[in-house]
Amino acid sequence: MAEDLTSFRTQVQAWLSEHFPSSLKSNAAGIMEAAFSENGLSADAEQWRQSLADAGYGAPTWPKEYGGAGLSDSQAAVLSGEMANVGAFNPIPGLAGMGVTMVGPTVLEYGSEDQKLRHLPGIASGTVRWCLGLSEPNAGSDLASLTTKAQDDGDTWIVNGQKIWTSGADRSQWCGALVRTDASAKKRDGISFLMLKMDQPGVRTRPIKLIGGASPFCETFFDDARAEKDDLLGPLNNGWSVVKRLLQHERQSQTGAGAPSGSGSAALSIQDLAKKYVGTTESGELADADLRSRLTSHLMATKAHAMTGSRIREEARGKVEVSAAASILKNSATIVAQVRSELTIEMMGNQGLGWEGDDFTPEELATVRGWLSGKAISIYGGSFEVQKNIISKNILGLPETTQKG
Amino acid sequence: MAEDLTSFRTQVQAWLSEHFPSSLKSNAAGIMEAAFSENGLSADAEQWRQSLADAGYGAPTWPKEYGGAGLSDSQAAVLSGEMANVGAFNPIPGLAGMGVTMVGPTVLEYGSEDQKLRHLPGIASGTVRWCLGLSEPNAGSDLASLTTKAQDDGDTWIVNGQKIWTSGADRSQWCGALVRTDASAKKRDGISFLMLKMDQPGVRTRPIKLIGGASPFCETFFDDARAEKDDLLGPLNNGWSVVKRLLQHERQSQTGAGAPSGSGSAALSIQDLAKKYVGTTESGELADADLRSRLTSHLMATKAHAMTGSRIREEARGKVEVSAAASILKNSATIVAQVRSELTIEMMGNQGLGWEGDDFTPEELATVRGWLSGKAISIYGGSFEVQKNIISKNILGLPETTQKG
Amino acid sequence: MAALTEEQTLIRDQARAWVTEQSPVRKFRQMRDEKAPLSFHADDWQAMIDMGWTGILVPEKYGGSELGYLTLGIVLEETGRQLTASPLLASAGIGAAALLVAGSDEQKQRILPGVVDGSNVVTLAVEEGPRHDPRQLSLAAMSRDDGLSLVGEKTMVHEAMAATHFVVAVRTSGHAGDENGMTLVLVDAESEGLTLSPLSTVDSRGYASLSFSDVKVSEEQILGSVNSAYVHLEQILDRARAATAAEMMGTAAQAFDMTLEYLKTRVQFGQVIGSFQALGHRAADLFTEMELTRSCMEGALQAIDAGREDVPELCSLSKTRTGEFIHHMSNELIQIHGGIGMTDEFDAGLYLKRARPLEAAWGNQAFHRDRYARLLGF
Amino acid sequence: MAALTEEQTLIRDQARAWVTEQSPVRKFRQMRDEKAPLSFHADDWQAMIDMGWTGILVPEKYGGSELGYLTLGIVLEETGRQLTASPLLASAGIGAAALLVAGSDEQKQRILPGVVDGSNVVTLAVEEGPRHDPRQLSLAAMSRDDGLSLVGEKTMVHEAMAATHFVVAVRTSGHAGDENGMTLVLVDAESEGLTLSPLSTVDSRGYASLSFSDVKVSEEQILGSVNSAYVHLEQILDRARAATAAEMMGTAAQAFDMTLEYLKTRVQFGQVIGSFQALGHRAADLFTEMELTRSCMEGALQAIDAGREDVPELCSLSKTRTGEFIHHMSNELIQIHGGIGMTDEFDAGLYLKRARPLEAAWGNQAFHRDRYARLLGF
């Protein structure tokens, strides 16, 4: 077993030295920025993407026949470790939008052989970008009350309705949408998961400006949009089970407390930042004792959150099931991230109130924008309130009551 | 008008100089302690009680025919001011238990002429002590689910069931009890308010020991206890409106933040107490900066509460209705009192952990007992949760939902 | 709401009607989107002058109505509700207070009538660092034959682009951190050597940094006596804090009303969300906090009007409690509105972005908790 | 719960079964009502010794099993659940830790086997004032021909009435407040000049004050070197904090379980009260806090076992977080139980009364927040 990984590691190292252009070294941000600019990927980056796609390393754990490399989790860890060692970065998950992280795993689980062959290779090569159409203006936390409907006209599905918070919709080629296919059924029944092309006359997108500025989110309008009959994923009228799985993928990705808003790897720790803006007493304590107590509580909460993540990983080692404590981590991560933002703008004082311009450093401006956009963490992907309902009901076994999201 | 009060003041002064025994001066606590000891009131105190009763000054605003003095509110204020001036104290409300404060006003409002004549003079003279039988073991915040029942056997009511939290029941001659008189009606219907004698074979009381030690509370058991037919107060099966009025009297009495637990008039302010136990820095700040912030927040909350009380009194001046903000004051007072207790035992450190003995000062021990018994403030008289339901529903107009107490 | 006089009730009703009809929050939004150079609409400002709001603090002999701080607070609460932009707080509130506290009769006579009729806009320049600390002044004022020469910087000066005069706290002796050695001077906005740089802040309000490069100030421009301005400065700041708190109360109360309205109308899981008990209890908590905060805010203004001794404590109390409430309320405003609250086209974000600068102004909650404890002697 | 070894799992299951069957909380109540002089039942203590719990920290060469701090924590969590009274924490936890940290091989050989077999009960005597502050030592130790003579007082000494030995922190030079000049000595409980006064505390646990009146201590009784005990003392205190936190976790977790059970069974307004969303959310908050706290508590014990460098930070973290959780949880325990929770015959009050002394022990939350910040350099 250890032997296998060693030889795989050697193989990966050789492959990297052959295919990874040194011009791209340690430049993940630059690659992605170019990808979404008008110019698109640089020639080197495009060549690197193609090399990854050819090797199946864009989505390395997917089966080879669908564009992956069929790697085990351990092998995938070796691959990503070796890539990190040489400063290489896999742009394909970013290029594919919701494809690699959300749509792909769901297609692998629920798709027909035909669907897998048609959709997965484009995702795994980073050439087809996907968005997800889930929420609607009147179906937020209460997703099951969605009204976008798809009617079977014999040859195709005809889709009408409006989605909101469709991240990256204005730059996607495909959309996975939750639609109502049986209006007479109860709320959670009668819903199906449909895949459709974005580049067609019946689809219109409008980017949403958020309180922190421009955002990847869109409103998406379907006006007699069409989807192929064989692009229904999973059983008809049983899309709810598909979406529950999707949301699990989403929540799992949100249980870390994330990096400090607006800080690169060279950023100061929050306590050093505090000392910089607030100053210290003669004995080296933060000059604002009130802030110092609250900052300490925050650092303790951050540490407690990190230690809980480690504990759960340790407990779950070898088990397949997602730990029940995942719901705790989502809210805990939310509090950690949002309190950090609030404390940071508080300590920056007037310098933490900038919107734009040279009177504020880029870090100060990024802190303010991050503080604003971070308010979403407790709203999307299972709101703070919904998570509490889940803990109360599913984990503590308290009887169901009226639920709010 | 001012003239009237002046002449009334002169009259009260004369009456006091004639009737108030100087031996009782500034000794309210001593009088009440004796009253509830085996000895009972001293001869001087008994004579003073009788003088008050003869003048109708035990319950001075009640009509003369029921044992009061028929005073206006302004006259009553003059009376109590003049009594305070000479160090006199009216023991009758204390002697009458729930009589002067709760039962009497309700009898005045709902009672028949016969009931007023039979019950009020005993209360107003401090010779008949009353308790109230409201809560039951399974009817706490949800009072309307009470099950103690009264059956009409033609001549009398026969009462069976159990009450809890009947304050002073073991020392009362009469009880005002909420009983179910129609088992088939909906919860809040079918309830009546019945007055019955405690000194009879069918009534048994058991004092309740609380976490802070002995308490005035009892469990009261009715086992074929009897009440007179004409001791039903208010209409049959409509006791709920009587009790709503009673509870209003109760909540009104609980909106002040109260005196610091375990501190007499000579007690240190909480910030001076903190300095005494915790010490100060060279610049005179409390040595524990973390505690100092929290203590400051508490003092601010205390001030905000007091200022809100003043504001509401000012707004309501001249109006008869109790201000809608009374519900806010109950919870606010609760927080102020409970946080003060918690902070006090925290600052006392090991000295704030005593139960009895000479190793702790009487003030330290009283602080600990007060901290424990003060946990009841958020439970009795409209729990913290019930008050929030009331604010949410009655004041903010949010739609009714499942309510919890 | 405090028990108001008939006149105060009239003024409140007029103010409420005017902001709702003439300058609701969408007008602020429009100003923001246009990036109006003064960060307010001249017609709004003129309307306020016409309604007499600029004279509320000013004695009749200088052209005002001298109705006092509580009355000013009543108006600021209403403008705070709709984020109405103007120099009302900065000039007719704080600028006027500075002259009333520290100015000579001659100086008041020279400046205040113009504050009332709008020809003067006077604003306070105190801050130098990122955090409020009135002792940490280092803007240097050196003696000259006929006055002072100023060299240094001020930042976060409210409504500076509209100002005709700045009341500037300068150091005439000692070092940053000393209470002694400060002086207040009235600087003409057109002074030679004075440069303004507007700041683009998250609340889209008018602030600028001032740079003083040998700005000359004559003796008539000195407010109060040289070197001993700290007591006056604290009095002025306390008035600034109490007046700012009134505006904060309005902004937060509007956020509360928006939230309550949303709780009553937004349907999820088949019910209006306000019927979910957890949200009902949060609304009750916010209402309780709001009522307690209002008492502090009004109490501080009344104490100033009555000339009471506990003005400093009450102003720190008021600023802290309104700061805590607007902080909590602005976060709950977004959270309870959910996704829609995150969008720029909905108004919630405007209130959130306004909240933090108001919290920081003239000392944040932590600053005033510390000050309150010091004032109470521990 | 941390990933346990098979042995640890066995010990936990045995401990849980034993406390539940042999020493549930009603046995503690009985002890309290009887005012048992030692504040514990001798048969319980003997059972713990027989189960080997007193040897968990002690190396095999001194008669123990050296299973480590996490294992001790597992047991203390279970005894904490039922408030089981014994000198386990004080002697087999903190007393043993003191000898292991500061004792010579000869001293360990002399004392520890007795700790394991129960013939010795060793407890730590540090506190002198009302609040924990290990630098504020003034109990004076004056040099004598063959050792030291002690004069002064100690207070809140755990399980002092059962102790055969005290590990006493004394001042051999310098002044109260200095880190230098402290020494640790092992004092025989039978020493001449030593007087014990039991304290009656709210948690009905065994504490006493010690009075030293020329108590003689020989050189063999000095643990470590004279005047430089502070580093050892901090190490011992960190072990005391981490072990106490484990007990606190158990007590608080039991309070959580009682509350959850009540939420599922108590009916009001026609429903079990746990179905009211506001209470459901509070239960979710408490559960979240509990899980986060558990990670800190276990992490500190694991760090001690692994000899990691961040032991001081993690012990302050653990003590603070368990303190915050037990504080909050004990208040919610009473509040959610309502009237019944206020009665002495129900158990809730016992948990509330236990919570505050545990919070205060070896430094309360404020103490450890301050220490954590200092350790992190701000």
pLDDT in tens, D270-308: 899 999 999 999 999 999 999 999 999 999 999 999 999
CB contact under 8 A, C270 and A145: yes
CB contact under 8 A, D342 and B404: no
Locate the domains of chain C by residue range. 6-119, 124-227, 231-375
For residue A194, the cross-strand partners are A177, A232
pLDDT score, position A317? 67
**Closest residue on chain C to B276 (Cα):** C378
C64-76 average pLDDT score? 98
Q: Is the pLDDT of residue B34 over 90?
A: no
pLDDT in tens, B4-18: 789 999 999 999 999
pLDDT score, position B66? 97
Higher pLDDT pick, B173 / B312: B173
Distance, in angstroms, between B241 CA and closest chain D CA? 18
pLDDT in tens, D245-262: 999 999 999 999 999 999
Q: What's the pLDDT band for B256 if we cut at 50, 70, 90?
A: low
pLDDT score, position C37? 87
Catalytic residue among A250, A282, A285, A321: A250
Walk me through the domains of chain A, giving residue ranges and CATH numbers. Answer: 8-95 (1.10.540), 130-237 (2.40.110.10), 257-394 (1.20.140.10)
Please determine whether the domains at C6-119 and C231-375 fall in the same fold group of CATH.
no
CB contact under 8 A, B399 and C264: yes
pLDDT score, position A177? 96
pLDDT score, position A324? 61
CATH classification number, C231-375, choose in 1.10.3330.10, 1.20.140.10, 3.40.50.10860, 1.10.3720.10: 1.20.140.10
CA proximity to D157, closest of D128, D186, D119, D133: D128
pLDDT in tens, D20-63: 999 999 999 999 999 888 999 999 999 999 999 999 999 999 99
Per run of 10 residues, the mean pLDDT along chain A (length 405 residues) is 79 96 88 84 93 96 96 90 92 94 92 96 97 91 90 94 94 96 88 96 96 93 96 92 81 57 58 96 95 98 95 69 68 96 97 96 95 93 89 91 44
Secondary structure E strands in chain D: 122-125, 140-144, 147-158, 165-171, 182-188, 194-201, 207-218, 222-223, 267-268, 271-272
CA proximity to B58, closest of B103, B15, B122, B6: B122
Q: What's the pLDDT band for C93 if we cut at 50, 70, 90?
A: very high
CA proximity to B309, closest of B257, B376, B374, B270: B257
pLDDT in tens, D67-91: 999 999 999 999 999 999 999 999 9
Query: From the list B142, B209, B357, which residue is nearest D343 (CB)?
Result: B209
For residue B151, the cross-strand partners are B158
CA–CA dist B208, D345 (Å, integer): 9
CA proximity to C278, closest of B57, D366, D275: D275
pLDDT score, position C301? 98
Q: Is the pLDDT of residue B324 over 90?
A: no
CA–CA dist C177, C135 (Å, integer): 5
Residues whose CB falls within 8 Å of the CB of residue B253, separated by 6 or more in sequence, listed in order = B101
Query: From the list C273, C342, C369, which residue is nearest A211 (CB)?
Result: C342
Q: What's the pLDDT band for B255 if we cut at 50, 70, 90?
A: low
Distance, in angstroms, between C373 CA and closest chain B CA? 6
Looking at beta carbons, which residues of chain D come within 8 Å of A294? none
Q: What's the pLDDT band for B320 if we cut at 50, 70, 90?
A: very low
D211-238 average pLDDT score? 97
Q: What is the Cα gyration radius of chain B? A: 23
C117-145 average pLDDT score? 95
Fold for the domain defined by C124-227? Butyryl-CoA Dehydrogenase, subunit A; domain 2 (2.40.110)
**Closest residue on chain B to D349 (Cα):** B211
Report chain D's mean pLDDT, rounded to a whole number: 96
Instruction: Note whether D138 and D128 are within 8 A (CB).
Output: yes
CA–CA dist D45, D39 (Å, integer): 11
Which DSSP state fits B208? P
Instruction: Note whether A200 and A157 are within 8 A (CB).
Output: no
CB contact under 8 A, A317 and D3: yes
Structure tokens at B258: 């109260």
Which one of A167, A293, A296, A379 would you mutate to disrupt binding with C, by most C Cβ within 10 Å of its Cβ? A379
pLDDT score, position D106? 97
Positive or negative torsion for Cα C360, C365, C366, C368: positive
pLDDT score, position A401? 62
Q: What are phi and psi of B201, to 5 degrees?
A: -60, -30
CB contact under 8 A, B398 and C370: no
Q: Report H helices in chain C.
A: 6-22, 25-34, 42-50, 69-81, 96-102, 105-117, 230-265, 277-306, 311-337, 339-342, 348-360, 365-375
The chains in contact with chain D, meaning 3 or more Cβ pairs closer than 8 Å, are: A, B, C
Distance, in angstroms, between C178 CA and closest chain B CA? 16
Which one of B303, B312, B395 would you mutate to disrupt binding with C, by most C Cβ within 10 Å of its Cβ? B303
Q: What is the Cα gyration radius of chain C? A: 21
Positive or negative torsion for Cα B311, B315, B317, B320: negative
- Which contacts of A60-68 are long-range, i.e. CB under 8 A and separated by 24 or more positions? A62/A104, A62/A108, A62/A120, A62/A124, A65/A117, A66/A108, A66/A116, A66/A117, A66/A120, A66/A121, A66/A124, A67/A120, A67/A121, A67/A122, A67/A123, A67/A124, A67/A125, A68/A120, A68/A124
Amino acid found at B146: L
Which one of B281, B286, B290 would you mutate to disrupt binding with A, by most A Cβ within 10 Å of its Cβ? B290
- Cα dihedral A319, A325, A327, A328, rounded to 10, equals -150
Looking at beta carbons, which residues of chain D come within 8 Å of B289? 370
CA proximity to C281, closest of A223, B392, D50: B392
pLDDT in tens, B88-135: 999 999 999 999 989 999 999 999 999 999 999 999 999 999 999 999
pLDDT score, position A261? 40
Instruction: Note whether D365 and D320 are within 8 A (CB).
Output: yes
Higher pLDDT pick, C193 / A313: C193
CA–CA dist C91, C124 (Å, integer): 8
Residues whose CB falls within 8 Å of the CB of residue B218, separated by 6 or more in sequence, listed in order = B131, B166, B167, B168, B169, B170, B205, B206, B207, B208
* H helix or E strand, kind and range, residue A191: strand A191-197
pTM of the complete model:
0.91
Percent of chain B with pLDDT over 90: 71
pLDDT score, position B186? 85
CB contact under 8 A, D275 and B372: no
**Closest residue on chain C to A350 (Cα):** C130
Structure tokens at A106: 């769901």
Supply angle C-alpha A238, A240, A241, rounded to 5. Answer: 85
**Closest residue on chain D to C275 (Cα):** D277
pLDDT score, position C42? 94
Instruction: Give yes or no for D268 touching C (CB within 8 A).
Output: no
CA–CA dist C348, B253 (Å, integer): 40
pLDDT score, position B35? 85
Looking at beta carbons, which residues of chain A come within 8 Å of B401? 402
Looking at beta carbons, which residues of chain D come within 8 Å of A311? 2, 294-295, 298-299
Q: What's the pLDDT band for B266 if we cut at 50, 70, 90?
A: very low
D315-324 average pLDDT score? 98
Architecture of domain C6-119: Orthogonal Bundle (1.10)
Q: Which residue has the tokens 């406390």?
A: D19
pLDDT in tens, B363-377: 999 999 999 999 999
Percent of chain C with pLDDT over 90: 95
pLDDT in tens, C305-362: 999 999 999 999 999 999 999 999 999 999 999 999 999 999 999 999 999 999 999 9
CA proximity to A379, closest of A233, A254, A271: A254
The catalytic residue positions of B are 250
Q: What are phi and psi of C217, to 5 degrees?
A: -130, 125
